[in-house]
Chains A and B, each alone.
Chain A
Amino acid sequence: MKNRLRVLRAERDWSQADLAARLEVSRQSVNAIETGKFDPSLPLAFKLASLFEMTIEEIFFEDEEGA
C-alpha cells in the first residue's frame, strides 16, 4: 500500500522523528510506513489521518500493480 506521508510531512517541515513523536511511535516505524514496507493498523491510520486533518483514503492508496 502506498501513501503520501513523505509529502505531507515535508509540507509541514516535519522530520520523521517529529512525526514519530506526534504519533508516539519510533522513527523506524514512521520510516517503514512511509516507504510502504509496513502497513499501519486501522487505529494508527486513523491517528495519522487525524494528525493531518485528512481522511485515510487521502493519505493511503492502493498500489496499482498490487491491486
Chain B
Amino acid sequence: MICWSRNGADRRYVIRMWVAAGLCVAFSVVAALTFRLGHPHGVLAYLVAVLPALPIGGALVGTGVYLGEEKDEFQRNLLVQALLGGTGGILTAVTAWGYVEDFAHAPHLDLIWVYPAFWAFAGISYAVVWARYR
C-alpha cells in the first residue's frame, strides 16, 4: 500500500506490520490451544481471549509511528486520507449492518472481521486517493 520513498520509514513500517501480523497469528494459535486444552475461566479466560487483539493495537501504533517518521509529506498525506477513508468506511458499514441486524434480522456480524475490513476499506480508499493525484 505504501509507495517506497527514500528514507526507510516505509521499510520499517512494513517490517512492523509483518511482526504484528506474525504475533497475531501466533497469539491466535496460543489462545485457541489454551481454550481447547486448558479450558480457562474467569479473568484468565478474558486475558487469553484478548491476546490475539494485542498485536492489532501494536499495528495501529506502528502506523502512527510511521506517520511521525515519514519525511515525505505527500506520502503522509496519502496514508492519512486512506486511513480516514478506511475509518469512515468501516464505521458506516458496521453501523449500517447493526441496523440491518436489528430491523431485518440479518445474520450477526462477528466483530473479529472489523479490523481486516478496516484495512480493506483503507486499501480501496488509498487507491481512490492515489488515482486523484496521478
Contact = CB atoms under 8 A, between A and B. Distances in A.
Interface of A: 20-21, 24-26, 28-29, 31-33, 37-38, 40-41, 44
B132 A25 contact: no
A41 B75 CA distance: 13
B128 to A, nearest CB: 14
A20, A21, A29, A44 interface centre (most CB from chain B within 10 Å): A29
B71 interface: yes
Given A37-B132, A37-B133, A38-B133, A28 B7 contact: no
A26 B73 contact: no
Interface residues on B, range: 10 to 19
A31 B74 CA distance: 10
B103 interface: no
Contacts of B5: 25-26, 29
B6 A21 contact: yes
